[in-house]
Amino acid sequence: MDKIKSLLLVEDNVDDVDLTLLCLNRNKIANRVDVVRDGADALDYIFARGRHEHRNIDDHPAVILLDLNLPKVSGLEVLAAIRKDPRTRRVPVVIFTTSNEERDIAGSYDGGANSYIRKPVDLERFNEAIRQLGLYWVLLNQEPPHA
């Protein structure tokens, strides 16, 4: 039996964290969601160091939902570190941000993002985006073998 995979939400905005968790729950996506609120803590979580040193680095989340505008270390820098390390380079990363800047979109895909989704402002659209994200990345996507 396959182990139920977690999701990693990297988001500094408390309202967006709460809304994302609410929408996941509302859409019956019951996977554990780990939340980190800045880029430095995201790197510590992903690479099992600092306060996350107890975590098994080989226990990859099904998907990382990554905001770009983060304190301490930017989302693009987190993405670069994930893609640089052979242990994490295949972990799916979805950029989930408010930015619609062409340079952010291009930089995300150039950096190896699997998808780029602009957070909808409207509650119904936000809920639908989370529903589709959860269905695709948690239920439908066949994750690659990890190095």
The pLDDT value given to residue 138: 76
The pLDDT value given to residue 141: 73
Nearest to 137 by CA among 37, 61, 59: 61
The tens digit of pLDDT for each residue in 67-84 reads 999 999 999 999 999 999
How far, in Å, CA of 111 to CA of 109, rounded? 5
Q: At 1, is the pLDDT very low, low, confident or very high (cuts 50, 70, 90)? A: very low
Q: What angle do CA 65, 13, 66 make, to 5 degrees?
A: 15
How far, in Å, CA of 6 to CA of 74, rounded? 22
Q: Is the pLDDT of residue 2 over 70?
A: no
Mean pLDDT of the chain: 90
Calculate mean pLDDT across residues 29-57: 93
7-138: in CATH 3.40.47.10:
no
Q: Residue 75 in contact with residue 67, Cβ under 8 Å? A: yes
Q: Residue 6 in contact with residue 21, Cβ under 8 Å? A: no
Q: Residue 113 in contact with residue 90, Cβ under 8 Å? A: no
The pLDDT value given to residue 144: 72
pTM over 0.95: no
Backbone phi and psi for residue 97, each to the nearest 5 degrees, phi listed first: -145, 170
Q: Residue 44 in contact with residue 16, Cβ under 8 Å? A: no
Q: Residue 65 in contact with residue 56, Cβ under 8 Å? A: no
Calculate mean pLDDT across residues 125-147: 79
Q: If you count DSSP H runs as helices and E runs as strands, how many of each does the chain have, helices first? A: 5, 5
